[in-house]
A and B are shown apart, each in its own frame.
Chain A
Amino acid sequence: MAIRVGTVRVGAIRKGKLLGNIGFGLAVAALISPAILFFLWMLSLSLKNEVDNMAFPPVFIPNPPVLDNFIQVFEKNDFLTYTLNSIFVSFGATGLALLLGVPAGFGIAKAQAAKAAAVIMIARVTPGLSYLIPLFLIFQWLEMTGTLWPLLITHLVITVPIVVWVMIGFFEGLPQELEEAALVDGATIWQAFLYVALPLARPGIVVAMILAFIFSWNNFIFGVVLAGRETRTLPVAVYNVISFEQISWGPLAAAALLVTAPVLLLTLLMQKEIVHGLTAGGVKGG
């Protein structure tokens, strides 16, 4: 077919293809520009002094960029404490969820426990606030408010379903033969789990860990109800302290950027795992 078409038509086809490519490039640009422009604006706000942030027409490129806002965030607030709180809660809730959820995902996948899977699914559907009313009362009665434990425990509501859900999918996808061979050779189910299934499921565990950590780190609603002044996690701190006690855009944007930076970096570094995990289950916490 290519031999028959004359040079004129080849030229026309090339031209059409080029136009198509340009159009496609513009479509991609249109899709990603809202994200790029937003995060660049966030960066711009955080690197400008207060005069430039309040200027109209707005100053787009910080000239010169200043780090004063970031310094202020640490000097004027207990930002370090809040960071440690967030680390304790998110790492704790993720670690515990892996310890509990990986075997549970294995058990549900192997026993094909549809009812257990349904409970996890319904937990995913329920609004976060509906857990908070009863748990809030319980923590008050147990006099646990004022510590970080209520936060860590409620974050399990987010992390456990994510881990179980991702792991069910992974264990169902693993080949049965290796495990069955181990069982035939006299291994117990626990040995088959620990030495055969678990090493094979390592990519799944990484996906579950990243997603559980991100959605725990981002969680706001549990902290806003349960955290006291000393036990705020970063999202609550950035909302409470910084937005009310000093209404200036520069430090606020700097604090917002600091809170979300770990998650954005993790996304950039682990995009393959994250895309895989989200495509499979459509998980989201809260």
Chain B
Amino acid sequence: MTVASTGLRGRNYARNYWPFLLPAGVVVLAVIIFPWLFTLYMSVHEFKVGGDFTFIGLDNYLRLTTDDRFLWSVVRTLYFTALSVAFPVVLGVAAAVTFHKKFPMRGIARTIFILPMMATPVAVALVWTMTFHPQLGVLNYLLTSVGIPPSQWTYDSVSVIPTLVMVETWQWTPLVMLIVLGGLASLPIDPYEAATLDGASGWDMFRHITVPLVWPHIIVATVIRTIDALKAFDLIFVISGGGPGTSSETMNLFLYLQAFSFYNMGYAAAVTVVFFIIILLVSLLLFSARQQKQWQ
């Protein structure tokens, strides 16, 4: 459409709508954009609550490069994220394919399936904590009753992150399922009919028709899952609190401790900036992967 065709489009048309953005714009400026800028400002200052701002340039950032506790938290975050993306994406795609078929009581089954992601994370995390108790927890009872040796779950520095990944997978597989389900709903049926006539098996059709067609949705789900896993806080904070020791202390928990336990606000601000850059880089990396897949 051109400006001439309706007389309503183009620059003037767009400008007429700015009053609609104004109220929200003011709030976004105050509670979203201002905090971003203030964080940048704080990150180049030495500042403790109650004290003064002292300009120290990039010292906070340089300190991060030699802070072992921070560097380990980055490694742990990447480890936690890799697992917390892989499992939900694989399971979520399988769930989406299942829920895409018509079957009796599909609506209620799908609703039950998405309950974990809607439930209050803290409430869910507290109950999971009870099931992980090495002596009294129901999980070890179930394991031993089928002959599997009991696990220390979150009480051991090796098994704590896989255990947290299990809860994260339980909670967030539904989001992947919903996004992929949205993709499946918009698929054409012709390729499937043609493939069925050619005698293709269900698995062949899944691999060569379904996956390529919903690939953009799988990538979107992967990006969202990655961002959320990098930012994971509630579950880890409540279930393990970063422990035992610091064995499940991710970047977000490190940030929380620096800011609100040690009150090193300037240093915490620098962590925030680095954290944000990591999130942005990983998201861009995943989106460029999507582009390459499309060119092939």
Q: Is A116 a contact partner of B21 (Cβ separation < 8 A)?
A: yes
A-B residue pair count with CB separations less than 8 angstroms: 262
What's the interface size class on A, roughly?
A: 35 or more
Report A25-43 residues with CB < 8 Å from chain B CB. Answer: 25, 27-28, 31-32, 34-36, 38-39, 41-42
B8 to chain A, nearest CB (A): 6
Q: Is A253 a contact partner of B127 (Cβ separation < 8 A)?
A: yes
Report A194-215 residues with CB < 8 Å from chain B CB. Answer: 214
Give the docked Cα–Cα distance between A131 and B101 (Å).
42
Report A203-257 residues with CB < 8 Å from chain B CB. Answer: 214, 217-218, 220-221, 224-225, 234-236, 238-239, 243, 249, 252-253, 255-257
Give every chain B residue within 8 A of A89 (Cβ-Cβ). none
B271 to chain A, nearest CB (A): 9
Give every chain A residue within 8 A of B118 (Cβ-Cβ). 214, 263-264, 266-267, 274
Q: Is B20 a contact partner of A107 (Cβ separation < 8 A)?
A: yes
- B109, B221, B234: the one contacting A220 at CB < 8 Å is B234
Binds B, one of A3-11, A65-73, A151-159: A151-159
Q: Given contacts A217-B120, A263-B119, are A104 and B23 in contact (CB under 8 A)?
A: yes
Give the docked Cα–Cα distance between A221 and B114 (Å).
22
Query: Is B288 an interface residue when CB atoms closer than 8 A count as contact?
Result: no
A191 to chain B, nearest CB (A): 13
Give the docked Cα–Cα distance between A137 and B45 (Å).
15
Query: Is B196 an interface residue when CB atoms closer than 8 A count as contact?
Result: no
Give the docked Cα–Cα distance between A255 and B125 (Å).
13
Give every chain A residue within 8 A of B110 (Cβ-Cβ). 271, 275
Q: Is B28 a contact partner of A235 (Cβ separation < 8 A)?
A: no
B64 to chain A, nearest CB (A): 15
Give every chain B residue within 8 A of A24 (Cβ-Cβ). 98, 101, 103
Query: Is B78 an interface residue when CB atoms closer than 8 A count as contact?
Result: no
Report B177-227 residues with CB < 8 Å from chain A CB. Answer: 178-179, 181-182, 220-221, 224, 227
Main SS at interface, chain A: helix
B51 to chain A, nearest CB (A): 11
Query: Is A110 an interface residue when CB atoms closer than 8 A count as contact?
Result: yes
Give every chain B residue within 8 A of A255 (Cβ-Cβ). 123
- A25, A103, A282: the one contacting B179 at CB < 8 Å is A282
Q: Is B8 a contact partner of A183 (Cβ separation < 8 A)?
A: yes
User: Residue of A at shortest CB range from B275?
Assistant: A127
Give every chain A residue within 8 A of B24 (Cβ-Cβ). 100-101, 103-104, 160, 164
A93 to chain B, nearest CB (A): 11
Query: Is A134 an interface residue when CB atoms closer than 8 A count as contact?
Result: yes
Query: Is B88 an interface residue when CB atoms closer than 8 A count as contact?
Result: no
User: Residue of A at shortest CB range from B177?
Assistant: A31
Query: Is A62 an interface residue when CB atoms closer than 8 A count as contact?
Result: no
Q: Is B141 a contact partner of A221 (Cβ separation < 8 A)?
A: no
Q: Given contacts A103-B20, A129-B259, A271-B110, are A180 and B6 in contact (CB under 8 A)?
A: yes
Q: Is A130 a contact partner of B123 (Cβ separation < 8 A)?
A: no
Give every chain B residue within 8 A of A221 (Cβ-Cβ). 233-234
A250 to chain B, nearest CB (A): 10
A48 to chain B, nearest CB (A): 12
Report B13-52 residues with CB < 8 Å from chain A CB. Answer: 13-21, 23-25, 27-28, 31-36, 38-39, 42, 49
User: Residue of B at shortest CB range from A155?
Assistant: B31
Q: Total interface residues on B, using CB and 8 Å?
A: 89
B228 to chain A, nearest CB (A): 6
A211 to chain B, nearest CB (A): 10
Give the docked Cα–Cα distance between A156 and B182 (Å).
28
Query: Is B276 an interface residue when CB atoms closer than 8 A count as contact?
Result: yes
Instruction: Encode A111-132 as 1/0 by CB contact (under 8 A) with B.
Output: 1110010011001011111111
Q: Is B35 a contact partner of A131 (Cβ separation < 8 A)?
A: yes
B103 to chain A, nearest CB (A): 7
Query: Is B138 an interface residue when CB atoms closer than 8 A count as contact?
Result: yes
Give the docked Cα–Cα distance between A126 and B252 (Å).
11
Which residue of A136, A153, A156, A275 has the most chain B CB atoms within 10 A of its CB atom?
A275
Q: Is B116 a contact partner of A38 (Cβ separation < 8 A)?
A: yes
Q: Is B224 a contact partner of A282 (Cβ separation < 8 A)?
A: yes
Query: Is A187 an interface residue when CB atoms closer than 8 A count as contact?
Result: no
Shortest beta-carbon contacts, A-B, top 3: A107-B20, A104-B24, A279-B182
State the B residues within 8 Å of A (CB).
6, 8, 13-21, 23-25, 27-28, 31-36, 38-39, 42, 49, 94-95, 98-99, 101, 103, 107, 109-116, 118-124, 126-128, 130-131, 135-136, 138, 141, 145, 170, 175, 178-179, 181-182, 220-221, 224, 227-228, 230-231, 233-234, 237-238, 252, 255-256, 259-260, 265, 268-269, 272, 275-276, 279-280, 283
Known: A128-B231, A253-B126. 19 other contacts (CB 8 A): A28-B109, A38-B124, A45-B130, A103-B21, A106-B17, A107-B18, A108-B21, A116-B21, A125-B279, A129-B259, A135-B35, A140-B49, A160-B31, A180-B6, A180-B8, A217-B120, A225-B260, A260-B123, A263-B120
Q: Would you give 15 A-B contacts (Cβ < 8 Å), ordered by A?
A: A31-B109, A34-B170, A35-B116, A38-B124, A56-B136, A56-B141, A103-B20, A103-B23, A104-B24, A123-B28, A125-B283, A127-B276, A256-B124, A266-B118, A279-B182
